[in-house]
Amino acid sequence: MLEEANVLLGLLVLVVLVLILTNIRIISQGKAAVIERLGKYRSTWNAGIHIKIPFIDRVVRTMSLKEQVLDFPPQPVITKDNVTMMIDSVVFMKVFDPKMYTYGVENPMAGLQNLSATTLRSIIGDMELDQTLTSREVINGQMQKVLDEATDAWGIKVTRVEIKNIQPPKAIEEVMTKQMRAERERRQTVLEAQAHQEAVVSRAEGDKKAKILAAEAERDAQIALAEGKAKSIKLVYEAEANGVRQLNEANISDGVLKLKGIEALKDVADGRATKIFMPSDIASVVSSLGVAGEALGIGQAENIDKTPKPVKKAPKDPCISDETGKGGIEAAETTEAIREEMKNAVRKSNAVIRPEN
């Protein structure tokens, strides 16, 4: 009898150990379990080790408390302007109350999917096609607000909603493609017109600046010419004044003056003059030398040379070319004229000073 009692006691201990071991539950981090006792909600187990009473406590549901991503299939929606399109959305949610998640709705995921579809159709129904394509942020915000408020009783927190894809009908896509192509061509035309306008304006501004610079250069050249001419005239008159002053200081005799007058008549009567007017004092000297006979037609007279008097051609300025402007040519001619006037002034000055020597 004692042995049978020991066997029964051992079996009883073994059964108790098995029951205890089989009713130990370990809940992982990020998960929760809802426990019922005799068919009634008892408690919610969070992460850690727990022991339930056999045959009395029961684990109804174990769920994840992490944020979940629900990718729902595309839903047909109709816009305000009667365009049917397919839109699929992505919902981000997490369970914040395991008890309400277990007892609030029979199938939370199916309910959230249907609620998302009906909310999307309601929002898109108040928008036109163009507004729908450009208002994703508005649609996302409205859906998140509506779904979050509706799922509070289910223990679900909708953290974010995103429109994944909007697929309009083929005919609408073709029209949008043509519209986009026309818009690109219009922008290209506008850009080409703006570039042409800028080029024309830049060219006009360049021509304007070039003409201004040319006018300024012409003005400076004319000023330089005028200043050079004024200086040359001043130098000529100063040279003549110096010559006269030196002539007065030299006390030249009347005979020398008459001789210089005859030399001047030689240059005047170069065989081309038809009439010569002479002062009385010079005429007497000429008659005394036998020149008056030729002047009066007595003696051998030479024919008058009526051919044009040869003009000495000025040497060509090496700086003048076919591309030189009018101002440059006039500057070169004026420079040459000033050079000739200076030579003549020096020649006259030397002619006046020479008798003194």
Residue showing tokens 């109350």: 97
Which structure tokens are listed for 342? 């200076």
pLDDT beyond 80 at 328: no
Distance CA 24, CA 263 (A): 151
- Going from the C-alpha of 191 to that of each of 179, 185, 186, 195, 253, the distances in angstroms are 18, 10, 9, 6, 92
State mean pLDDT over 149-169: 89
The whole-number pLDDT of residue 27 equals: 87
The whole-number pLDDT of residue 278 equals: 54
CB 114 within 8 A of CB 73: no
The whole-number pLDDT of residue 32 equals: 92
pLDDT beyond 80 at 318: no
Please choose, from the candidates 75, 64, 155, 144, the residue with its C-alpha nearest in 3D space to the C-alpha of residue 108.
155
Distance CA 45, CA 32 (A): 6
CA 173 and chain centroid, separation? 35
pLDDT bucket at 147, cuts 50 / 70 / 90 = very high
The whole-number pLDDT of residue 251 equals: 66
State mean pLDDT over 69-88: 88
CB 77 within 8 A of CB 125: yes
State mean pLDDT over 55-70: 89
- Going from the C-alpha of 157 to that of each of 47, 117, 222, 289, the distances in angstroms are 20, 17, 91, 142
Phi-psi region of 252 (alpha: psi -120 to 50; beta: other; left: phi over 0): beta
Distance CA 45, CA 25 (A): 9
SS3 60: strand
Q: In 103-130, which positions are buried (b, 16+ CB within 10 angstroms) versus exposed (e)?
A: ebbeebeebbbebbbebbeebbeebebe
State mean pLDDT over 126-144: 88
Distance CA 82, CA 127 (A): 10
State mean pLDDT over 295-319: 53
Ordered structural domains, the chain, with CATH: 2-64 (2.30.30), 68-168 (3.30.479.30), 212-299+307-356 (no CATH)
- Going from the C-alpha of 65 to that of each of 101, 107, 111, the distances in angstroms are 11, 17, 18
For the beta sheet containing 31-37, the strands, ordered from the edge strand earlier in sequence to the opposite edge, are 40-45, 31-37, 57-64
Determine the longest span between alpha carbons in the chain, in angstroms.
202
Percent of the chain with pLDDT over 70: 70
Burial class (CB in 10 A: 0-12, 13-18, 19+), 93: buried
| Sequential DSSP letters for 251-318 | T--HHHHHHHHHHHHHHH-SS--S-----HHHHHHHHHTTHHHHHTT-S--PPP--SPPP-PPPPPPT
SS3 126: coil
Neighbours of 330 (CB within 10 A): 14
Instruction: Check the CA dihedral 127-128-134-136 and report its sign.
Output: positive
Which structure tokens are listed for 33? 């379990």
The whole-number pLDDT of residue 157 equals: 92
